Amino acid sequence: MELVLVHLFPDLLNLYGDRGNLIALRERARRRGIRVTVRQVRLEEPLPRDGDLFLVGGGEDRQQTLVAQALRGSTGQLRSAAQSGAVVFAVCGGYQLLGHAYRTAEGQELSGVGLLDVVTEHPGHNTRRLVGDVVATCTVPGVGELVGFENHGGRTRLGPGARPLATVRVGFGNNGEDGTEGAWCGTVFGTYLHGPVLPKNPRFADYLLRLALRRRYGDVHLQSLDDRAEEAAHAAAAARARVPR
């Protein structure tokens, strides 16, 4: 089996080591004998047509402004890829741009690609940022608990076409009010969890791998890996999040 991972705008969207999500997916696949090709896409470069899993990291408003137009130019191709079964996984700023729109702290409205039924608005520089460790229960069957770190000013609201990726037990989540974290629809996923998130959540990483492989190979069984280090990192992050601050 082979897998093509596409990393969108890695030079602009890589806050808090989000590139670690790519590394985790690549290595978990390779440890199972799956051949992995990584394609990096920068501004003005076309999206590859053979991508199985597209990753978008987080960035500040300045980087998001640069990326927004490039993403909109690739909306049709990205939508077609998702409809064909490719996975799209985005973090923080990338998650916001997968929605319909993001209004920045300065009031500038950035149109998103609309792959997720969400809208994000930054209330302004004088409002509290949503920062800290997160423990949440994933709504994806079989994944269980998610841990990560959030740091965002935007408040994201989900429309009826998106499900929350998780429900928050510790932390703020999408907006600090409704208890939701992230969003997903079909094979498109967005989250505010940095860390990076996938190395500390191996069951979620494997779910994304299986989903991406299904596009070419149907339902596949992934052999078990020795995840003692990943589970220890998960437990440490969960314990830290529950310490009173």
- Which one of the listed residues 92, 122, 152, 234 is annotated catalytic? 92
Residue 138 annotated in active site: no
- Which one of the listed residues 7, 122, 152, 194 is annotated catalytic? 194
- Assigned token pair, 235: 């437990």
Quickly list DSSP for the chain.
-EEEEEEE-TTT--GGGTHHHHHHHHHHHHTTT-EEEEEEE-TTPPPPTT-SEEEE----HHHHHHHHHHHHHTHHHHHHHHHTT-EEEEETHHHHHHSSEEE-TTSPEEE---SSSEEEE---TTSPPEEEEEEEEESSTTT-EEEEEEEE--EEEE-TT-B-SEEEEES-TTTSSS-EE-EEETTEEEE--BS-TGGG-HHHHHHHHHHHHHHHHSS-PPPP---HHHHHHHHHHHHHHHS--
Residue 92 annotated in active site: yes
Q: Tell me the catalytic residues.
A: 92, 194
